[in-house]
Amino acid sequence: MSRGDSRSRPEPVGQIGLGIMGGAFAKHLLEAGFDVVGFDPDRRRAAQFARHGGRSARSGAAVATRCRTIVTSLPSIKACEAAFFGRDGIAGRARRGTVVIETSTMPLETKIALRDSCAAHGVTVLDCPISGTGAQAAAKDISVYASGERDAVRRCADILNGFSRSMHYCGPFGNGTKLKFVANLLVTIHNLAAAEAIVLGLKSGLDLALLYKVIRDGAGTSRMFEVRGPLMVANDYSDAHMKCEIYQKDIDIIGAFAAKLRCPTPLFEASKPYYSAALAQGHAKDDTAAICAVLERMAGITRNQSRQMKGKGRR
């Protein structure tokens, strides 16, 4: 696929939202040879996208006029509504037959409303949330939970595989979001469990680099221990791959979903106060691994930023 010869280019892929996740999607698609047209209201993100070889658009509507397949990665319900139905939104300018791969974590009701409203414009929305952190997205180590019209998913298979390690077709629209809720419930618990283990090791006087190396190689490991353990060991949460303030939205959505189903989630409920404490203690912009700092404070531990894990085990 030659980017220098416009005659050989397939129709471009749109990317709306160029943050930690969306920016990674776009970068991988560009590296795979796709022509990507992107939009983000943050000019710094748009500039970084352009440096990777992408073509920046002035609005979501401008992306929709040029692309028949669009990937959206958005941080909030408000951002989602603006991207789809705002003055410069997708729905009003997209051509009939356009497929939108919606990857954001949103309430199921919001996703269904998007699908139904877009269908009135002849636009198909797929529910395709992502399993993985920002660091994993950067390494193309994420999985896509694709749900919705099977033929539309097939049409988008090359794109989905272009920015992920794996893609699972999960059936009717909404199943992807339900599975994402289950996955993030486990992430919430496992992240806290990793922090609890790190703090126990720290309190007992163990060398944390040794602890990470040994536990990662044994039965006690988890994907969250492997991905976020290095941040906890280094006591440095500033390179956020999922900010605490954004993840709080996910926690609230999962809690409301479980409550509506009257499904008990005792470990998830027990985890929630530690994420709230991280926000209260000034970690809103930090990675969610910062709940380790919350437990350290409870344990009476004070430490300076450690450099023992710099460059080790990071993803």
Pinpoint the residues of the chain covered by CATH 3.40.50.720: 6-173
Domain 6-173: which CATH class?
alpha beta
One-letter amino acid at 253 equals: I
Helix (H) or strand (E) holding 293: helix 291-299
For 212, the token pair is 């990470």
The full length of the chain comes to: 315
Is the sign of the CA dihedral 15, 137, 183, 255 positive or negative? negative
pTM: 0.90
Identify each DSSP E strand in the chain by its residue range: 13-16, 36-39, 55-56, 69-72, 99-102, 124-127, 130-131, 143-146, 166-169
Retrieve residue 204's tokens.
């007992």
Strands laid side by side in the 143-146 sheet: 130-131, 143-146, 166-169
**Per-residue pLDDT of the chain in tens (315 residues, 90 and over written 9):** 434 444 445 789 999 999 999 999 999 999 999 999 999 999 999 999 999 999 999 999 999 999 999 999 999 999 999 999 999 999 989 999 999 999 999 999 999 999 999 999 999 999 999 999 888 999 999 999 999 999 999 999 999 999 999 999 999 999 999 999 999 999 999 999 999 999 999 999 999 999 999 999 999 999 999 999 999 999 999 999 899 999 999 999 999 999 999 999 999 999 999 999 999 999 999 999 999 999 999 999 998 754 444 444 333
First-residue to last-residue Cα distance in the chain: 30
In the chain, residues under CATH classification 1.10.1040.10 are 178-299
Cβ neighbours, 10 Å, residue 306? 15
Element (H, E) at 66: helix 60-66
CA distances from 256 to 147, 171, 235 (A): 21, 23, 32
Please count the other Cβ atoms lying within 10 Å of the Cβ belonging to residue 114: 25
CA dist 315 and 139 (Å) reads: 7
CATH of 178-299 given 2.60.40.1930, 1.10.1040.10, 1.10.357.10, 3.40.50.1820? 1.10.1040.10
